């Protein structure tokens, strides 16, 4: 899997498209492609550029973004001023990974993009997934409100880093036991810290089965 995700924005308003491209480029590991102002140009760019993720508006001059969503085989999130329940339900039925109602903050989009990066990494392994790993990937796509539990989250994050400090590489289970949290919670924090560059990930190969992810404090 590439270390950088290419993102196509399909947005008819030139200024909004550039604004959202700036939001994307500000998130480490993401690169905005030139925005497409119409559904037709968006489809052409999807076929030629093969982006990892499409950020798609509902209101486009030549077609509904919902129709575009239903016709593409690529990860997509909806960014739209359309806030009626039927539109949102239809977008989710057609496979939108997230729906952001305009106007939204750069911080909200950043949260969704970081969650997407974790989701992609969690589902990058070959072979069957465990339910636990699937739940972790799903939660990465749908994080709780950033305003809720920030203090508690920061304390847990610090405890995870402390558990890794000076102990060499450790497994998710090792960290969960050291901090006193579930493996799912430990995995979520380790993934977030890896996205931020604070934690390094390596693989340990055993004699049988899949390789095990090991975590350590990243070299500064």
Low-confidence residues in the chain, pLDDT < 50: 1, 146-152
Rounded to whole angstroms, the Cα distance separating 192 from 115 reads: 8
- Whole-Å CA distances, 39 to 7, 34, 172: 16, 14, 43
Instruction: Please say whether the beta carbons of 213 and 170 come within 8 A.
Output: no
Rounded to whole angstroms, the Cα distance separating 86 from 199 reads: 41
pLDDT at 150: 43
Partners of residue 199 on adjacent β-strands: 217
164-176 pLDDT per residue, tens: 887 778 889 999 8
Partners of residue 215 on adjacent β-strands: 170, 201
Q: What is the dihedral of CA 121, 24, 51, 128, to 10 degrees?
A: 10
pLDDT at 151: 45
pLDDT at 203: 81
84-124 pLDDT per residue, tens: 999 999 999 999 999 999 998 888 898 899 889 888 888 87
pLDDT at 207: 60
Report the candidate in 31, 174, 12 with the shortest Cα–Cα distance to residue 113: 31
Enumerate domains of the chain plus CATH numbers. Answer: 5-116 (3.40.50.2300), 149-217 (1.10.10.10)
């Amino acid at each position: 899997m590439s270390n950088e995700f290419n993102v196509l924005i399909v947005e008819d308003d030139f200024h909004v498209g550039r604004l959202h491209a700036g939001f994307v480029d500000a998130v480490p590991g993401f690169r905005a492609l030139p925005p497409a102002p119409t559904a037709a140009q968006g489809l052409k760019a999807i076929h030629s550029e093969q982006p990892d993720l499409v950020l798609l508006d509902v209101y486009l001059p030549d077609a509904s973004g919902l129709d575009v969503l239903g016709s593409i085989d690529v990860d997509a999130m909806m960014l739209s001023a359309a806030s009626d329940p039927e539109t949102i339900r239809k977008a989710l039925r057609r496979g939108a990974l997230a729906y952001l109602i305009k106007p939204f903050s750069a911080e909200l989009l950043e949260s969704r993009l970081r969650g997407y990066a974790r989701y992609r990494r969690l589902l990058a392994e070959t072979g069957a997934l465990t339910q636990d790993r699937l739940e972790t990937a799903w939660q990465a796509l749908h994080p709780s409100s950033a305003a809720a539990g920030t203090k508690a989250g920061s304390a847990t994050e610090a405890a995870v880093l402390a558990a890794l400090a000076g102990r060499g590489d450790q497994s998710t289970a090792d960290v969960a036991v050291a901090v006193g949290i579930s493996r799912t919670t430990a995995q979520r924090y380790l993934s977030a810290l890896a996205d931020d560059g604070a934690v390094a990930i390596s693989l340990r190969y055993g004699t049988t089965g899949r390789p095990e992810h090991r975590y350590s404090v990243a070299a500064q």
